[in-house]
């Protein structure tokens, strides 16, 4: 009887040790993913991009105005500093440089504009790989 109870205690200790080691490995891999991850998972990048990709290609001025409002809404979030989108175009306030605060005053409703998206190619603190970070309107 004494041997059986000691065997159960040893078995319980072994199971507890295995559980603690597994928990440590799980925490380590999650911490490593957090360090190497650029801040957005693949699903988050796709969801983020879907807000803007519907405007890509040749679109009318009214749609460009909607795109500008979408960018302003996205960039207006103070907690969203790493996910800001910049725009460039002659009719949105900046023809030569990208800006985070485009305007709609120069956009003509009936004109057709070409919208091109630029995607980040590397992860880091300010860009997530595959995320739209710049939009050009011609």
Nearest to 92 by CA among 68, 116, 125, 114: 68
Give the whole-angstrom CA distance, residue 110 versus residue 127: 34
Scan for tokens 């109870």, then name that residue.
5
pLDDT in tens, 62-119: 898 888 888 888 888 766 677 888 888 877 777 778 888 888 888 888 899 999 998 8
Q: pTM of the full predicted structure?
A: 0.64
Q: Which carries the bigger pLDDT value, residue 11 or residue 79?
A: 11
- Return the structure tokens found at 1: 């009887």
Mean pLDDT of the chain: 83
Would you list the domain boundaries of the chain? 1-36, 42-137
Q: Are 71 and 87 in contact (CB under 8 A)?
A: yes
């Amino acid at each position: 009887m004494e041997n059986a109870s000691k065997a159960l205690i040893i078995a319980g200790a072994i199971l507890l040790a295995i559980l603690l080691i597994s928990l440590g490995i799980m925490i380590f891999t999650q911490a490593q993913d957090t360090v190497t991850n650029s801040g957005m998972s693949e699903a988050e990048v796709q969801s983020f991009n879907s807000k803007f990709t519907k405007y890509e290609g040749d679109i009318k001025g009214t749609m460009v105005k909607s795109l500008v409002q979408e960018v302003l809404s996205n960039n207006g979030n103070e907690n969203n500093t790493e996910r800001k989108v910049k725009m460039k175009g002659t009719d949105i306030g900046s023809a030569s440089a990208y800006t985070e605060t485009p305007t709609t005053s120069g956009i003509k409703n009936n004109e057709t504009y070409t919208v091109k998206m630029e995607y980040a190619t590397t992860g880091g603190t300010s860009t997530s790989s595959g995320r739209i970070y710049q939009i050009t309107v011609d």
